[in-house]
Amino acid sequence: PHQLEIRNLHASVGDQPILKGINLVVPRGELHAIMGPNGNGKSTLAKVIVGDPEYTVTEGEVLVDGQNILEMEPDERARLGVFLAFQYPVEIPGVTIANFLRLAMQARKPEGEEVSFTEFYGKLTNALKTLDWDESIVERYLNEGFSGGEKKRNEILQMLMLDPNYIIMDETDSGLDVDALKIVAKGVNSLRGPNLGGLIITHYQRLLNYIVPDKVHVIVDGRVVQSGGPELAQKLDTEGYDWVKELTVASV
């Protein structure tokens, strides 16, 4: 099956359990929003999916197109087309955006297959156009001296270049003004279609006005406590998170 499936996922930091049995199925072709109060495991879920060594999976599976990725190295996960946009992007001194993009594209290729200049440059030109960004940007060093908005735009540039099968976006909207938010959304929406699935993690509903999710799930205390359509995000926006917190207590 072409889907991202999270099955009874439990994960800890040290001996502190954070994810307590997450179940989700995201078919390729759908983007699902993950919402929830702060400190309840949203970022942990994203990091476990991409294999952050800080977190220990104690139970459960993450299946990408039927393959359990939890035992895979990060580069194997990348080859399956899983892409994470971080809440706090890193700076890598001395590496230009162009070099970084080229290396990242190469990492997604099967062994022995080179990224051609034509492929690279063709994709780059299209992606920069979508993001309304000047070509000179790619000679700058990765994230060095970038504003928050530029860092986010650069992440979306990476996403467009890598042509992922699944994206995991963790609070890509945090700290963005409306113009930057619209550019991020334009980039993501340009990738949408039957070949793209993923999770859009966001505390606020605002981003979901521009990237309308197929489904919305709410995580409280390491579990999905409620799922619904885009109207669920609207409800959280107007009513806040108190009612979902009560819901967890009631259902225990």
172 binds Mg ion (CB under 5 A): no
Counted residue by residue, the chain has a size of: 252
**Interface with ligand ADP, residue 202, by CB under 6 A:** no
1, 8, 39, 129: which one contacts ligand ADP (CB under 6 A)?
39
CA distance 51 to 15: 18
Q: Which is nearer to ligand ADP, 38 or 136 (CB)?
A: 38
| Site map (CB under 6 A) of ligand ADP, residues 51-90, x = contact | ---x------------------------------------
- Report the C-alpha gap between 205 and 228 in whole angstroms: 14
Stretch that binds ligand ADP, among 39-47, 102-110, 143-151, 172-180 (CB under 6 A): 39-47
Task: For residue 107, report the phi and psi dihedrals to the nearest 5 degrees.
Answer: -65, -20
Q: Is 38 one of the binding residues for Mg ion (CB under 5 A)?
A: yes
Q: Does 41 bind ligand ADP (CB under 6 A)?
A: yes
A 10 A CB-CB count for 230 gives 16
E strands, the chain, where?
3-13, 16-27, 31-35, 56-64, 67-68, 82-85, 166-170, 197-201, 215-220, 223-228
Q: For binding to ligand ADP (CB under 6 A), which residues are involved?
A: 13, 18, 36, 38-44, 54
